[in-house]
């Protein structure tokens, strides 16, 4: 702990010196005008990424007139790139301005510094340059602060820099960190730039008082244990464990040599030149010669080993010429195929699912672990890479906050109610780690926190015992990790779409498969005293074409990835149900699917409420989170018992297609259709893996989506409260109105004329489009992240005809009524849906139901006059003190309830712990989180 605290103190001190010496543009310190400061702000924002005009304006600081002054200088530092596929123009930094980039720019947050460092290194690699990020040339201080630069050559700072560099020589040393070493190298670069400027700007008669290179060439008091900073840098240049900093160290040594040449050509001499300096220079040369001798011995040994390896390789190739030639040909063929398949398809043909799904080649993705800085491509057979994530219960979409789950142990979360009473939300900061690195980090955090609490008896802002930790990079609170996966559908999908069944035929085949699985399960569970007649009947069961009962799919994922699939699945189950971890509970996979669906619905509502386009406006952390969460949920069935997932699919499918062997399902108006769709789609591969009839997984995906979409249309028609009126009915489609009216009349007959009579189909079409739009938006996000098909440009902007573009992307007809006309089995399914007694109870007014579209929840409205709120609070009496006035009334801004705050009067027991009124209220109102206004 002491070493860690000292390291933190050293890092903060080094960072403070960088700020003091490096920031000369702040008012009161620098002497540059405001235009130069604005120019510098723009350069450092565009170093993060190219930005649109509005995004750049928001990122710049404003003056007292709320202006940024960007227009005056933007043309000098950036070039405007016209709108492309993103649908908006972007400013890109001019190449000649990159030399003004400063990694430790004082307006950068930690996250921004990490992003810009990664972006600049990637840009340099693309340009085939070294990845060093040296400090820029800085303007001279004004005379009042000119002596500040001497901090860089002070004895204390030189001692610290030399010590940190000496620590870094040992690859397993625990006394230093990557960020500490990076700051030291940056400070050395600043000092070298300063001395170079002093030499270039000085005249013949001027004396140089800044002699940094001379001081770093001097060894310490004990040359054997404390070599000079320059000698240590030369040692670190060849250190294999510092590959990330190698280019920066090379730049420092190159700059130092340039300064020496400047001194040789110039007549300028230092202020102090003593005999001791010459003796120390001689000692350094001897030290350098000894290191060179050892390096030559090591080089000769490496060359000998490499020669032996080359001889062995040549011998192996000679013995296996045919195999080697075949491998080369396969590599060349796969390379050409990848090049051919990577062609960009036109935006008009982009389809997210089904047999006509756009085929997009998944590009090779290499990521860097934030802990060990190792690059790795994530594949199914590699070590697991994970994202730090935070899973929490949420009621942000709830339409019934009074509903409480009584018995969690017996609660069945398979069917989510449309009121979305409580969901499981997953968020992430987007930072990537190796699973092993994260595990070591988390174990260290646990051990450290245990020792800290035993010694100091203090509590932190996060609960380590409950699995919480802070992201090692941005310190965002997290409680689990999400594994990174390639698109899971490519592992099981067949690409032969010839002779694929229609919806009615596919429903019949899937129902027969479910019936077969159910009978086989009964056969396995049958008791020993069952009659032989029953066994013979079961043995005579006709199996569906291509169905293999005892087939077990091979798990394609490495053991490391499978372990992370179980880890995140168990965390979602534990947090979502507030129970103890249990990997064997069949509800684990259900909670994973539910978290995926609920998170997508939450993101869609945010985008809709903020009037942002469905694609193109998500921050990269949310985009990475949704992609990883969807792919995880799609892959989780591979680590669950096959019979359990098939049982879930059977019950889900039976809610739409009744089966006499399956228990009664909820009414169609009591099921959230998007949760149902996600669960069906993600459980369907467990059925498909046993089906060798030639039916493609993509065909099943499309039929499931069409089936659930039709159920959503019926759900909207049954719960629609729209009334016929004389509103303007322009742009109506008579054919569409007649088709929808025909469906409604069929519902009218199936419900025994309980529905109200409607003579015109216009308001029905309007209700269907308005009600189903959020569902289609969520489906677009889901299939986009599941299958990796890019979104069309029309969905990346807030343009007209969004409904038509969504239908095209989802392989739907714009007239949804055509789905019913093209499928003969739908009439029977509608009759079965309407026969549920809950439908008749709702139509008779005996119960309520959610109507569509669901409105977004908002905080309560407060009165414009604050005195009204004060009067309301002053009249509030404590409910447990016999009518006495509450001393500290508190208003819940979510539901409007008035409560006692910071008082023992309303203390109650929740989950075995005594809590106050506000804390107890959050459990019923916000699932543990709420917003209060305290008096």
Render 657-709 in DSSP notation, one character per residue.
S--TTSPPPPPGGGS-HHHHHHHHHHHTHHHHTTB-SS--HHHHHHHHHHHHH
With respect to residue 859, please indicate whether it lies within any of the assigned structural domains.
no
Whether 815 and 884 share a structural domain: no
CA dist., res. 284 & res. 231, Å (int): 8
| Confidence (pLDDT) at 354 | 84
| Confidence (pLDDT) at 320 | 66
Query: pLDDT tens digits for 546-577?
Result: 777 777 788 888 899 999 999 999 999 999 99
| Confidence (pLDDT) at 345 | 46
Q: Is the predicted pLDDT of residue 460 greater than 60, yes or no?
A: yes
Whether 900 and 885 share a structural domain: yes
With respect to residue 543, please indicate whether it lies within any of the assigned structural domains.
no
Contacts of residue 477, Cβ cutoff 8 Å, sequence gap at least 6: 390, 461, 462, 468, 469, 470, 471
| Confidence (pLDDT) at 630 | 95
| Confidence (pLDDT) at 151 | 87
With respect to residue 601, please indicate whether it lies within any of the assigned structural domains.
yes
Quote helix, strand, coil % in the chain, to nearest 5.
Answer: 55, 5, 40
Query: Do residues 132 and 251 make contact, with C-beta atoms less than 8 angstroms apart?
Result: yes
Specify the pTM: 0.64
Cα–Cα distances (Å) from 229 to 160, 167, 218, 321, 451, in that order, read: 10, 12, 8, 52, 37
| Confidence (pLDDT) at 875 | 82
* Structural domains counted in the chain: 4
Whether 903 and 818 share a structural domain: no
Query: pLDDT tens digits for 298-334?
Result: 777 777 777 777 667 666 666 666 655 655 554 444 4
Whether 413 and 370 share a structural domain: yes
What's the pLDDT band for 432 if we cut at 50, 70, 90? very high
Whether 623 and 485 share a structural domain: yes
Counting residues of the chain whose pLDDT is more than 70, the rounded percentage is: 82
> Rounded to the nearest 5 degrees, what angle is found at the Cα of 479, between the Cα atoms of 856 and 472?
115
Compute the average pLDDT of residues 289-298. 72
Tell me which DSSP letter residue 353 carries. Answer: S
| Confidence (pLDDT) at 148 | 83
Contacts of residue 707, Cβ cutoff 8 Å, sequence gap at least 6: 503, 507, 656, 657
pLDDT top residue among 837 and 71: 837
Compute the average pLDDT of residues 178-205. 82
Q: Is the predicted pLDDT of residue 622 greater than 60, yes or no?
A: yes
Counting residues of the chain whose pLDDT is more than 90, the rounded percentage is: 20
Whether 617 and 468 share a structural domain: yes
Query: pLDDT tens digits for 644-655?
Result: 999 999 999 999
With respect to residue 301, please indicate whether it lies within any of the assigned structural domains.
no
Whether 607 and 702 share a structural domain: yes
- Token pair listed for 228: 């000079």
What's the pLDDT band for 269 if we cut at 50, 70, 90? very low
| Confidence (pLDDT) at 569 | 93
Q: Is the predicted pLDDT of residue 492 greater than 70, yes or no?
A: no
Last residue of a domain, one of 81, 100, 119: 100
Whether 406 and 444 share a structural domain: yes
Last residue of a domain, one of 239, 263, 287: 263
Helix (H) or strand (E) segment spanning residue 482: strand 480-483
With respect to residue 855, please indicate whether it lies within any of the assigned structural domains.
no
With respect to residue 525, please indicate whether it lies within any of the assigned structural domains.
no
CA dist., res. 26 & res. 16, Å (int): 15
| Confidence (pLDDT) at 279 | 57
Q: Is the predicted pLDDT of residue 348 greater than 60, yes or no?
A: no
Q: Is the predicted pLDDT of residue 591 greater than 90, yes or no?
A: yes
pLDDT top residue among 71 and 514: 514
| Confidence (pLDDT) at 335 | 40
Whether 769 and 893 share a structural domain: no
Q: Is the predicted pLDDT of residue 676 greater than 80, yes or no?
A: yes
Compute the average pLDDT of residues 805-821. 90
CA dist., res. 519 & res. 660, Å (int): 12
Of 2-6, 194-198, 917-921, give the lowest mean pLDDT range: 2-6
Q: Is the predicted pLDDT of residue 525 greater than 90, yes or no?
A: no
Whether 714 and 806 share a structural domain: yes
Full strand arrangement of the beta sheet holding 889-892:
898-900, 889-892, 932-934
Q: Is the predicted pLDDT of residue 717 greater than 70, yes or no?
A: yes
| Confidence (pLDDT) at 727 | 46
**Average pLDDT taken over every residue of the chain:** 80
Q: Is 29 exposed, middle or buried (0-12, 13-18, 19+ CB in 10 A)?
A: middle
With respect to residue 893, please indicate whether it lies within any of the assigned structural domains.
yes
Whether 93 and 112 share a structural domain: no
With respect to residue 272, please indicate whether it lies within any of the assigned structural domains.
no
Query: Do residues 673 and 480 make contact, with C-beta atoms less than 8 angstroms apart?
Result: no
Contacts of residue 763, Cβ cutoff 8 Å, sequence gap at least 6: 722, 723, 724, 725
Contacts of residue 794, Cβ cutoff 8 Å, sequence gap at least 6: 347, 801, 802, 805
| Confidence (pLDDT) at 206 | 52
| Confidence (pLDDT) at 223 | 43
> Rounded to the nearest 5 degrees, what angle is found at the Cα of 815, between the Cα atoms of 814 and 819?
110
Q: Is the peptide bond before 853 cis (omega within 30 degrees of 0)?
A: yes
Whether 788 and 879 share a structural domain: no
CA dist., res. 934 & res. 886, Å (int): 12
| Confidence (pLDDT) at 661 | 66
Picking from 110, 113, 129, the residue whose alpha carbon sits closest to that of residue 121 is 129
Question: 900: domain range?
Answer: 866-934
Last residue of a domain, one of 263, 293, 319: 263
């Amino acid at each position: 702990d002491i070493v860690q605290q000292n390291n933190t103190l050293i890092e903060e001190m080094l960072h403070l010196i960088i700020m003091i010496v490096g920031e000369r543009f702040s008012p009161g310190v620098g002497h540059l005008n405001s235009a130069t400061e604005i120019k510098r702000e723009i350069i450092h924002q565009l170093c993060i990424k190219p930005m649109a005009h509005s995004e750049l304006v928001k990122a710049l600081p404003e003056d007292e007139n709320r202006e940024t002054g960007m227009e005056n200088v933007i043309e000098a530092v950036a070039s405007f790139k016209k709108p492309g596929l993103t649908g908006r123009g972007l400013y890109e930094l001019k190449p000649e301005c990159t030399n003004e980039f400063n990694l430790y720019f004082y307006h950068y947050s930690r996250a921004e510094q990490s992003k810009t460092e990664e972006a600049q290194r990637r840009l340099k690699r693309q340009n085939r340059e070294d990845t060093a990020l040296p400090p820029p040339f800085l303007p001279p201080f004004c005379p009042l602060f000119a002596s500040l630069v001497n901090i860089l050559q002070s004895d204390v700072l030189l001692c610290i820099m030399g010590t940190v560099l000496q620590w870094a020589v040992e690859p397993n040393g625990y006394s230093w960190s990557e960020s500490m070493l990076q700051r030291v190298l940056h400070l050395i670069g600043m000092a070298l730039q300063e001395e170079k400027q002093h030499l270039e700007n000085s005249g013949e008669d001027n004396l140089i008082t800044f002699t940094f290179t001379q001081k770093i060439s001097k060894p310490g008091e004990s040359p054997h244990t404390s070599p000079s900073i320059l000698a240590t840098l030369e040692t670190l240049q060849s250190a294999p464990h510092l590959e990330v900093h190698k280019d920066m160290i090379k730049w420092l040594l190159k700059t130092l040599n340039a300064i020496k040449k400047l001194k040789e050509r110039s007549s300028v001499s230092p202020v102090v030149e003593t005999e001791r300096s010459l003796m120390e220079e001689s000692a350094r040369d001897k030290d350098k010669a000894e290191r060179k001798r050892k390096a030559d011995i090591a080089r000769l040994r490496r060359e000998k080993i490499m020669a032996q390896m080359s001889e062995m390789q040549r011998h192996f190739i000679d013995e296996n010429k045919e195999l080697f030639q075949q491998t080369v040909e396969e590599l060349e063929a796969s390379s050409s195929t990848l090049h051919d398949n990577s062609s960009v398809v036109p935006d008009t043909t982009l389809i997210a699912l089904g047999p006509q799904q756009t085929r997009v080649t998944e590009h090779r993705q290499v990521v860097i672990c934030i802990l060990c800085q190792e690059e790795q491509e994530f594949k199914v057979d590699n070590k697991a890479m994970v994202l730090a994530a935070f899973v929490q219960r949420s009621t942000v979409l709830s339409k019934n906050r009074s509903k409480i789950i009584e018995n969690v142990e017996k609660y069945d979360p398979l069917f989510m109610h449309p009121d979305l009473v409580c969901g499981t939300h997953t968020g992430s900061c987007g930072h990537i780690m190796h699973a092993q690195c994260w595990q070591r980090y988390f174990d260290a955090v646990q051990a450290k926190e245990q020792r800290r609490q035993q010694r100091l008896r203090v509590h932190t802002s996060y609960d380590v015992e409950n699995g919480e930790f802070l992201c090692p990079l941005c310190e965002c609170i997290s409680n689990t990790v999400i594994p990174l996966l390639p698109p899971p559908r490519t592992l099981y999908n067949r690409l032969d779409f010839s002779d694929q069944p229609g919806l009615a035929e596919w429903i019949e085949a899937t129902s027969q498969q479910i019936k077969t699985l159910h009978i086989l399960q009964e056969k396995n569970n049958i008791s020993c005293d069952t009659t032989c007649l029953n066994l013979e009947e079961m043995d005579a069961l006709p199996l569906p074409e291509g169905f293999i009962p005892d087939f077990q799919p091979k798990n394609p994922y490495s053991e490391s990835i499978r372990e992370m699939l179980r880890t995140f699945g168990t965390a979602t189950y534990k947090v979502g149900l507030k129970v103890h971890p249990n990997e064997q509970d069949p509800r684990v996979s259900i909670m994973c699917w539910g978290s995926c669906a609920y998170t997508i619905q939450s993101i869609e509502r945010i985008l809709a409420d903020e009037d942002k386009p469905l694609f193109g406006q998500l921050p990269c952390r949310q985009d990475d989170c949704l992609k990883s969460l969807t792919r995880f949920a799609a892959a989780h069935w591979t680590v669950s018992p096959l019979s359990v997932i098939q049982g879930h699919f059977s019950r889900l499918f039976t809610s739409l297609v009744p089966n006499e062997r399956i228990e009664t399902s909820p009414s169609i108006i009591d099921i959230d259709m998007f949760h149902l769709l996600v669960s069906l789609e993600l459980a369907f591969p467990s059925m498909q893996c046993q089906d060798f009839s030639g039916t493609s997984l993509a065909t099943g995906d499309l039929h499931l989506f069409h089936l659930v979409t039709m159920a959503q249309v019926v759900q909207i028609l049954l719960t629609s409260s729209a009334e016929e009126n004389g509103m303007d009915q322009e742009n109506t489609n008579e054919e569409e109105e007649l088709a929808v009216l025909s469906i409604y009349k069929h519902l009218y007959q199936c419900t025994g004329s309980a529905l109200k009579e409607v003579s015109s189909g216009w308001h029905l079409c309007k209700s269907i489009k308005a009600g189903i739009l959020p569902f289609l938006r969520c489906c677009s996000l889901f299939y986009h992240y599941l299958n990796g098909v890019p979104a069309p440009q029309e969905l990346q902007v807030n343009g007209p005809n969004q409904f038509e573009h969504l239908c095209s992307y989802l392989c739907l007809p714009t007239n949804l009524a055509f789905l019913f006309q093209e499928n003969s089995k739908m009439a029977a399914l509608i009759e079965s849906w309407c026969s549920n007694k809950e439908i008749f109870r709702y139509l008779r007014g005996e119960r309520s139901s959610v109507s569509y579209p669901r409105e977004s929840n908002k905080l309560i409205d407060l009165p414009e006059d604050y005195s009204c709120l004060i009067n309301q609070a002053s009249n509030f009496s404590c409910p447990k003190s016999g009518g006495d006035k509450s001393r500290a009334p508190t208003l819940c801004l979510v539901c409007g309830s008035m409560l006692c705050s910071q008082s023992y009067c309303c203390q109650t027991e929740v989950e075995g712990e005594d809590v106050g009124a506000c804390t107890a209220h959050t459990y019923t109102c916000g699932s543990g989180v709420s917003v209060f206004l305290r008096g």
